[in-house]
Amino acid sequence: MAYTLYIGNKNYSSWSLRGWLAVKLAAVPFREVKVQLRGTHNPDNRSFSPSALVPALHDDGVQVWDSLSIGEYLAERHPGLWPADPLARAWARSITAEMHAGFAALRGEMTMCIRERVDVRPWSAALAADIARVEEIWSATRRRFGKGGAYLAGAFCLADAFYAPVAFRFQTYGVTPAGEAGTYLAALLAHPFVKAWEADALAETEVIDADEPRVLYRDKLARRG
């Protein structure tokens, strides 16, 4: 079995992070191929990804693209990616799908830029609602299923992989949840896989203005002085 995973810049590519964490969670060897991000769609990427997007996983002639599909593909072949308990697994799949499909304001107004630290308050009403929903998910999941460990369903699983980019966004933009959600945020940022990705991201030198908070919020930050 020889996996190849195509990913974008680690400082910026939240979807790549999810796919990369899924492969790490599967505990299998893989070759990592980094592709420079150039806008939303780069037609050159069609040589390895039918959608022209990253991440994309290759497995001996099989192509899997989209981070959730990659996670499910790996979960069919390797144990431990989802919780063993059926109730916890159903819940984990649901909150993962919710993150995969929603939170448009969070994605649009808090781009992932791991190296940056910036406060862009006041947040829009839509962004504040997204942040509140994330905190609700984290707290409710930990209370119900987190007794066996530090992560959402106890042990680190695909649900944690899908919320890892949110943890980096919260770190970048100074979002500090209270209580159970705050404790979980610290644990997620401290996970060895997440720390390894962060170290690689901080070593990158590429700058993509479309994802840089100080470019996106230049006027707002200038008014604040």
Residue 215 forms part of a structural domain: no
Sheet holding 62-65, edge to edge: 30-34, 3-7, 56-59, 62-65
What is the per-residue pLDDT for 1? 60
pLDDT one-digit tens code per residue, 63-109: 999 999 999 999 999 999 999 999 999 999 999 999 999 999 999 99
Q: Which residues of the chain have pLDDT under 50?
A: none
Which among 10, 197, 162 is positioned nearest to 81, based on CA atoms? 162
What is the per-residue pLDDT for 38? 66
Which among 148, 152, 143, 27 is positioned nearest to 89, based on CA atoms? 152
From 55, 75, 95, the end of a domain falls on 75
What is the per-residue pLDDT for 198? 98
Q: Are residues 116 and 195 in the same domain?
A: yes
Who contacts 206 (Cβ-Cβ below 8 Å, separation ≥6)? 9, 11, 36
Domain of 156, CATH number, reads 1.20.1050
Residue 222 forms part of a structural domain: no
Q: Are residues 118 and 179 in the same domain?
A: yes
Range of the domain at 102: 86-203
What is the per-residue pLDDT for 2? 86
Rounded distance between C-alpha atoms, residue 90 and residue 112, angstroms: 28
Domain of 18, CATH number, reads 3.40.30.10
Residue 213 forms part of a structural domain: no
| Counted domains in the chain | 2
What is the per-residue pLDDT for 79? 97
What is the per-residue pLDDT for 48? 84
Q: Are residues 196 and 93 in the same domain?
A: yes
Q: Are residues 9 and 113 in the same domain?
A: no
Q: Are residues 122 and 157 in the same domain?
A: yes
